[in-house]
Amino acid sequence: MTNKTVRPILEMNAFDKQSPQTENVARRIANTGASSVLFYREPIEMVSAEGVWMTAKDGTRYLDFYNNVPCIGHSHPAVTAAVNKQIATLNTNTRYIVPIVDDYLEALKATFPKELSNVVLTCSGSEANDLAMRLACKHTNGTGFIVTESAYHGNTSLVTQVSPSALKNTSLPEHVIAIPPPAKKYYGDNIEQGFADQVQLAIEELKQRGIKVAALLFDSIFSSDGVFSEPEGFLSKAIEVIHQAGGLYIADEVQPGFARTGTSFWGFQNHNASPDIVTLGKPMGNGFPMAGVVTKPEYLDSFCADVGYFNTFGGNPVAAAAGLAVLKEIKDKNLQENARLMGDYLKAQLQSIAEQSDHIAEVRGSGLFLGIDICHPDSADKPDPEFTVNMIDQFREEHILIGAAGPDGSTLKLRPALCLTKTEADCFIDAFAKILKAS
Amino acid sequence: MTNKTVRPILEMNAFDKQSPQTENVARRIANTGASSVLFYREPIEMVSAEGVWMTAKDGTRYLDFYNNVPCIGHSHPAVTAAVNKQIATLNTNTRYIVPIVDDYLEALKATFPKELSNVVLTCSGSEANDLAMRLACKHTNGTGFIVTESAYHGNTSLVTQVSPSALKNTSLPEHVIAIPPPAKKYYGDNIEQGFADQVQLAIEELKQRGIKVAALLFDSIFSSDGVFSEPEGFLSKAIEVIHQAGGLYIADEVQPGFARTGTSFWGFQNHNASPDIVTLGKPMGNGFPMAGVVTKPEYLDSFCADVGYFNTFGGNPVAAAAGLAVLKEIKDKNLQENARLMGDYLKAQLQSIAEQSDHIAEVRGSGLFLGIDICHPDSADKPDPEFTVNMIDQFREEHILIGAAGPDGSTLKLRPALCLTKTEADCFIDAFAKILKAS
């Protein structure tokens, strides 16, 4: 429960602005200043993308194992067609009735437990988590939040407060407690109990600070912490603990949601957990900006009695069309099952290669959301962020895009589109073996 | 400087959920619960829209004088074509270089004073104002904000605090002071001095509360306050006052920006004012969700040293394509000049009709952003929100969409697309005369 320093997530594999800049990189930095965030020691100029592949200006085709937003594949024709049809017809706000919006809301709700029967559509996962936190505060009359040490939940003022991995020189505010992620190294073999105990301690610590807890806010696969999904169901006890304390459980599904984990459509379902509020984002529109909060009606009732909430772009019919196309494609092409099969295959192959290498401490994850811990050759307990960055660069040489996560940036994070084929998975597996062999 | 109760903006012309509901209205309310916000006593189901016109399911074509988002016209073919081309090719985030993004950033920057040379693209005006406020706090080391009594700046937690018109049962927090809008009824003939004096008083009041002021945050046309744009330049002194106190001036251009006021491209330019930070939104992508913050580099430098800010959807190439299409259309079709000409024509005609009616206290505004104060027949000083709602319904009978603003919802707010023709303006003028005559 210490406020440990974690490596800011934006520093991972980031272009160093002190390095020599090509004309286009200089242009970007002149336009966006300190807020510019480019990947790689030498940033890549992209010109097109399709399926799991992105094409750079120099003609190189990169296998995209990083970007989880285009979940059904880059530039997907079903989304293009849906957006094109709707944007040419009607794009307005939710103050009018447009049935495609309700078609989408109903299709989305059908994937959730019945009690989560209200949806608020927003533009970004950040807006969704901002609203979810306020619903929890209003309902519980509390202000305290419990998150994990390297959590990232978004970019608004409120949400940044619960995102330790977005903070550089500032520490967490008093009402936020970060606990160690659900990893064996912190909790041994009983992650479920250990994690629940930490939640209990955090609730008591908040109480000592004179703060009532409002909610647990967890990314259901703990992505920025380094990807933790096992053992199945380990969240259950922590959720019991927060409920006993009168707090809510907010499931942040911005990263694991929409079938990525293969075993279930939503990450929280892998924990047999019943969230009080769920937040969605990134893959929802395959790149069309959209996100949302799925909640029990009573939380909205009390919140909206105090605050008028309206989102101008949230729930526009073009977003609804994009969202419907994504849901349909996942269903029609059985992408959840593909994520499970390809994920299992990838994980097994990578684990088998990892056994031959003293650079790999662990390969874990669910479906097409995997994490690979990179360690010093002399000990599996010594993370090696430098070697990780080098591997990311070597993957680039092999024409594969990949990123890092975890408190020190030593976990490779794999999140290819859900339509990944075995041939494409083999591309990655071969590159992984080659890079490790050469090191 | 009292924390006056203002009528929540979402209650204006809102459907009452206790009323009988059609099947589609019931469906919407079942899906979105307390967060549903529908217009009109009988909500309208829309099926398509084009130019300044929206078509309902029953075939009625409505002249849209309400929606300022589709600024170059509903379902504009240039935006449709640009979005379609880009979304079929590449839609990714700003961690890669995609030149169309910088093309857009540069086209946008060209409309601003040179010192505002950094842009952060976001998904919504709310996200933009959230970030702008944090830049101001970081730079000034202050936390106090001065806004107007019926201001609305967005929906995040932080931004709701400075949006009195979003609050129902809660009052403004201690660090926010709301001052009367720049109306004659508060300041007489010397609005400039009176308004600056109120800003000075607010700064001192904050100081007495132990709070350092961070910024003035004003919508440059004071839209939700009831639309105030005259006399030209009246903001200058208030800005001097805030600068002398070490605070910043944030120009919220989410509503007046992108040529709507006719006399200038940005609302702040009507005040010969140099904002420190500018926020953009609604019309930026003609409905494609996009927004942004335009700022001096130094504010981003210090902010980004503390906080890693990244916006997944912000600055995606599809948004850039939509944004470029909007800027090009405004320029190619001379829409700023059209807004000025049509706005002047509308205002003059409406003023002339208003002179014959004891229901109208004032017609004011700039370009295609006009406000019409509705009053009791016995006194121009007695606002009449009930008559205003009736007028909105009567306009609907005349197949015209219009909304209300102001502290009690008694100001009709006119914001048609910038491509409005004289024939379309005449439609509105005729309906206005007809409705007043019948009353």
Q: How far is CA A94 from CA A86, A97, B76, B314, in A?
A: 15, 7, 19, 22
Quick check: B275 pLDDT over 90?
Answer: yes
Q: Is the pLDDT of residue A362 over 80?
A: yes
Write out chain A residues lying below 8 Å of B47, CB-based.
89-90, 98
The answer to whether the Cβ–Cβ distance between B312 and A98 falls below 8 Å is no
**Chain B residues within an 8 Å CB radius of A312:** 69, 124-125, 281-282
Residue to substitute from A156, A160, A296, A303, interface B, most B β-carbons within 10 A: A156
Q: Which residue of B has its CA nearest to A102?
A: B28
Separation CA B233–CA B274 (nearest Å): 11
**Tens digit of pLDDT for each residue in B382-398?**
999 999 999 999 999 99
Give A9's pLDDT tier (boundaries 50, 70, 90): confident
Q: Is residue B304 part of a domain?
A: yes
Average of per-residue pLDDT across B59-74: 98
**Does residue B36 fall inside a structural domain?**
yes
Residue B119 pLDDT > 90:
yes
Closest CA to B281 of B302, B297, B266, B296: B266
Average confidence (pLDDT) over B90-117: 98
A8 band by pLDDT with thresholds 50, 70 and 90: confident
- How far away is chain B from the Cα of A388, in angstroms, using its nearest Cα? 19
Last residue of a domain, one of B315, B341, B370: B315
Span B316-340, average pLDDT: 98
Q: Chain A: residue nearest B160 by CA?
A: A307
pLDDT at B3: 53
Report chain A residues whose CB lies below 8 A from the CB of B27. Answer: 102, 106
> Which of A25, A75, A301 lies at the smallest CB-CB distance from B90?
A75
Q: Tell me the shortest Cα–Cα distance from A233 to chain B, in angstroms.
A: 29
- Residue B422 pLDDT: 98
Provide the mean pLDDT of chain A: 96
Residue B256, min C-alpha distance to chain A (Å) = 15
Mutate which of A12, A96, A109 to test chain B, going by most B C-beta atoms within 10 A?
A: A96
What mean pLDDT comes out for the span B407-427?
97
Q: How does the average pLDDT of chain B come out, rounded?
A: 96
Mean pLDDT lowest among A5-19, A182-196, B64-78, B231-245: A5-19
Distance from CA of A337 to the nearest CA of B (A): 25
Q: Pick from A32, A38, A120: which is nearest to B105 by CB?
A: A32
Cβ pair A119:B79 closer than 8 A: no
Say whether pLDDT at A2 is over 60: no
Chain B residue with minimal CA distance to A308?
A: B166
Per DSSP bridges, beta strands A400-401 and A61-64 are parallel
Nearest CB among A67, A80, A309 relative to B155 is that of: A309
Name the closest residue on chain B to residue A88, using Cα atoms. Answer: B75
pLDDT, mean of residues A172-198: 96
Cβ–Cβ below 8 Å for B44 and A120: no
Quote the distance between the C-alpha of residue B427 and its chain's center.
24
Beta strands in A220-349, from DSSP E residues, in sequence order: 248-252, 277-280, 291-295
How many folded domains does chain A comprise?
Answer: 2
A157/B117 touch (CB, cutoff 8 Å), yes or no: no
Query: Tokens for B121?
Result: 């693209």
Predicted confidence band of residue A439 (pLDDT cuts 50, 70, 90): confident
Q: What pLDDT band is residue B4 in, cutting at 50, 70 and 90? A: low
State whether A315 and A327 are in the same domain: yes
B198: left (phi over 0), alpha (psi -120 to 50) or beta: alpha
Residue of B nearest to A255 (CA): B312
Examine the pLDDT at A153 and tell me if it is beyond 70. yes
User: pLDDT grade, residue A5 (50/70/90)?
Assistant: confident
A74 and B88 within 8 Å at the Cβ level: the answer is no
Same domain membership, residue B163 and residue B43: no
- A280 and A357 share one domain: no
* B305: nearest CB among A69, A83, A169: A169
Q: Which of B83, B57, B285 is nearest to A88 (CA)?
A: B83
Cα–Cα distance between A198 and A4 in angstroms, integer? Answer: 15
Give the number of A-B residue pairs with CB atoms closer than 8 Å: 333
Dihedrals phi, psi of A55, to nearest 5 degrees: -110, 130
CB atoms near residue B335 (< 10 Å) = 26
Interface contact A118-B319, CB threshold 8 A: no
pLDDT, position A190: 95
Instruction: Tell me the three state secondary structure of residue B376.
Output: strand
Q: Could you say which of A79, A168, A281 has the minimum Cβ distance to residue B305?
A: A168
Does the pLDDT of residue A6 top 90, yes or no?
Answer: no
- Write the DSSP string, B404-434: EESTTS-EEEE---TT--HHHHHHHHHHHHH
Give the per-residue pLDDT at A69: 98
pLDDT-derived band at A4 (thresholds 50, 70, 90) equals low
- B32 alpha carbon, distance to own chain's centre: 24
Residue A61 located in a structural domain: yes
Asked which of B277, B295, B315 is the last residue of a domain, the reply is B315
Task: Say if residue B7's pLDDT is above 90.
Answer: no
Å between B406 CA and nearest CA of chain A? 16
Distance from CA of B357 to the nearest CA of A (A): 31
Task: Give the tens place of pLDDT for each residue, B178-199.
Answer: 999 999 999 999 999 999 999 9
Q: Which domain holds residue B5?
A: 1-61+386-416
pLDDT at B1 > cutoff 60: no
Q: Do B1 and B106 belong to one domain?
A: no
Residue A358 has pLDDT above 70, yes or no: yes
Confidence of residue B220 (pLDDT cuts 50, 70, 90): very high
Min Cα separation B304/chain A (Å) = 6
Residues of B in contact with A318 (CB under 8 A): 287-288
Q: Which residue of A has its CA nearest to B53?
A: A90
Tell me the chain B residues in contact with residue A60 when contact means C-beta distances shorter than 8 Å: none
pLDDT attached to residue A30: 98
Cα B243–Cα B246–Cα B247 angle in degrees, nearest 5: 70
Hey, are the CB atoms on B87 and A84 less than 8 Å from each other? yes
Are the beta carbons of A43 and B96 separated by less than 8 Å? yes
Give the CATH number, domain containing residue A305.
Answer: 3.40.640.10
- Tell me what pLDDT residue B273 has: 85
Q: Does residue A405 lie within any of the structural domains?
A: yes
Helix axes B191-208, B236-244, angle to 10 degrees: 20
CB contact under 8 A, B308 and A91: no
* Domain boundary residue, one of B315, B334, B355: B315
Which residues of chain A lie closer than 8 angstroms to B156, CB-CB?
127, 130, 156-158
Residue to test with chain B: of A37, A97, A159, A172, most B Cβ within 10 A: A97
Distances (CA, A) of A16 to A11, A13, B20: 9, 9, 61
CA A257 to chain centre: 8
At B307 the three-state DSSP class reads strand
Query: Do A305 and A276 share a structural domain?
Result: yes
Residues on chain A touching B124 (C-beta within 8 angstroms): 123-124, 127, 311-313
Q: What is the pLDDT of residue B5?
A: 72
Residue B42 in domain: yes
Q: Are A173 and A144 in contact (CB under 8 A)?
A: no
Render pLDDT for A115-140 as a digit per residue (tens, 0 to 9).
999 999 999 999 999 999 999 999 99
Q: How far is A352 from chain B (nearest CA, A)?
A: 32
The CA-atom distances, in angstroms, between A239 and each of A141, A246, A322 are: 18, 11, 33
Distance in angstroms (rounded) separating the CA atoms of residues A161 and A158: 5
β-strand B61-64 against A400-401: which pairing, if any? unpaired
Helix (H) or strand (E) run with residue A126 in it? helix A125-140
Task: Copy the structure tokens of residue A152.
Answer: 């990232």
- CA-CA distance, B115 to A280, in Å (whole number)? 37
* Domain co-membership, A150 together with A220: yes
The predicted model gives A339-362 an average pLDDT of 97
pLDDT at residue B395, rounded to an integer: 98
**Do B16 and B143 share a structural domain?**
no
The answer to whether residue B339 is domain-embedded is no
Q: What is the DSSP string of B38-75?
A: -BSSSPPBEEEEEBTEEEETTSPEEEESS--SSTT-BT
Q: Which is nearest to B412 in space by CA: B430, B428, B424?
A: B428
Task: Decide if pLDDT at A11 tops 60.
Answer: yes
Is A11 within a domain? no
On whether residue B72 sits in a domain, the answer given is no
Task: Please report residues of B whose CB lies closer than 8 A to that of A308.
Answer: 8-11, 37, 165-168
Q: Are residues A269 and A415 in the same domain?
A: no
Contact A32 B96 (CB under 8 A): no
Tens digits of per-residue pLDDT, A154-175?
A: 999 999 999 999 998 888 999 9
Angle at A41 between CA A38 and CA A46, to 5 degrees: 50
CATH code for position A370: 3.90.1150.10
B5 and B99 housed in the same domain: no
In a shared domain, residues A94 and A203: yes
Q: At B147, which helix (H) or strand (E)?
A: strand B144-148
Please check whether residues B43 and B100 belong to one and the same domain.
Answer: no
Are residues A230 and A204 part of one domain? yes
Q: Which of chain B's residues have a Cβ under 8 Å away from the Cβ of A94? A: 28, 32, 36-38
